[in-house]
Structure 1
Amino acid sequence: MKIILVWASLLIVTIAAQAVLLPLIFTQGAKPDIILIIVVACGLLAGRERAIGVGFLAGLLQDFASGNIFGLNTLSKMAIGYVAGLAERKVFKESVVLPVLAIILATFFNGIIMQALLFLLGYKVEVVSMLKEQMLVSLGYNILFCIPVHRLIYRITFGDKSQF
């Protein structure tokens, strides 16, 4: 029960910061997706079951906070949590390169899922302009934030027993 409260608190604080503070700091439209980084780190460190749950809750909170089409973030974060969780037993958890590579793939995967869902719902999707204008800038921001967030999730998952 305690771990559920820790994850819920982390996600609520992150959603609040991402919805209120980040638009003030990053004014060009593209900003880091800290929720995506948390879901990927959770998958890599805690496995797919926990990552799917965290992805569901994170996506749900992000859908509530964003005001966009309800369910887009929920579906994409759950899928990304599942895929990241598949690698949990096959990776060296203390690696610094792993979260960077994983967040690069997850950022593109998230963008593709979101654009595909919008296309399936009948919205006009411009993939090339979205790639140039937002996804590449967001990718750079996500890479900047992925190591500290990965370390935080490592400490939440495994405690303060390690030197990571």
Structure 2
Amino acid sequence: MIVLVLSLITLLNLFLQSSILPYISIFGVVPNTALLIIICIALYKGRIYGGVVGLIIGIIQDIIFSPVLGISSFIYFFVGYLIGLVQNKLSKDNILIPILFSILGTIFYSFSYYIFMFFLSHEIPFLYFARDVLIIEIIYNIILCIPIYKIFSKIFVVPKIRFGSR
């Protein structure tokens, strides 16, 4: 059941990122909803699910959007795995946790992608990247992180119902 839910979420995200989100871009920057989904899955399901879903979403995005195959899949896998490592040590009720990981994940993804593209001779002006793209994407991801995390809390948290005196 969980594999079916994650597959549907991945397909829905792919549809949103390729068709709807480019129309609501700010200064040409769109939110990285794939990263937010990977962060939420890693926070709720752990390192294995976070890493595998990150790898699958990254491969699909690389095939469709990227000029180079494998960069996004590697970075998404790494982000999902690392966040999944600390999953048991964090409170899932605190909304600041996904916001913090959204900020850190966006910075890590963007700088890693920039470094990979730099070494592959795809030049992106660093000041434009850091000032214009990164800051807007961080703000965009923070705004979208809260509703996405709330949706995932409805999907993955099983309510505990106890009958009895204790």
Q: Please, what TM-score do these two structures have when normalized by structure 2?
A: 0.90
- Return the alpha-carbon distance in structure 1 between the equivalents of residues 25 and 125 of structure 2: 22
Deviation at 1:126, TM superposition (A): 2.6
Q: Paired residue for 1:87?
A: 86
> Mean alpha-carbon deviation: is it higher for 110-119 or for 122-131?
122-131
RMSD of aligned residue pairs (Cα, Å): 1.5
Cα pair 1:41 1:99 within 8 Å, conserved: yes
Report if aligned partners of 2:47, 2:83 keep a CA contact under 8 Å in 1. yes
Deviating 4+ runs (over 3 angstroms):
none
Deviation at residue 68 of structure 1 after TM alignment: 2.7
CA displacement at 1:157 relative to structure 2 = 2.1
**C-alpha separation in 2, matches of 1:92 and 1:143:** 18
Partner of 1:120: 119
Within 5 A, what are the aligned runs for 1:12-161?
A: 12-26=11-25, 28-159=27-158, 161=159
Q: Return the letter of the residue paired with 1:123.
A: H
Q: Could you give the per-residue CA deviations for residues 34-54 of structure 1, whole angstroms, max 9, x where no partner exists?
A: 110011111112111110011
In structure 2, list runs of 5 or more residues that go unmatched: 161-166
By relative contact order (CA 8 Å, sep 6+), the higher-ranking structure is 1
- Secondary structure (helix, strand or coil) at the match of 1:18 reads helix
> What CA distance in whole angstroms lies between the structure 1 residues aligned with 2:118 and 2:128?
15
Q: 1:67, 1:108 → 2: CA distance?
A: 19
Q: Normalization by structure 1: what TM-score? A: 0.91
Q: Which amino acid aligns with 1:94?
A: D
Letter in 1 for 2:99: V
Distance 1:60 1:155 in 2: 27
CA displacement 1:102-134 (0-9 Å, x = unmatched): 100000000111011112223224322101111
SS at match of 1:92: coil
CA distance in 1, matches of 2:113, 2:43: 22
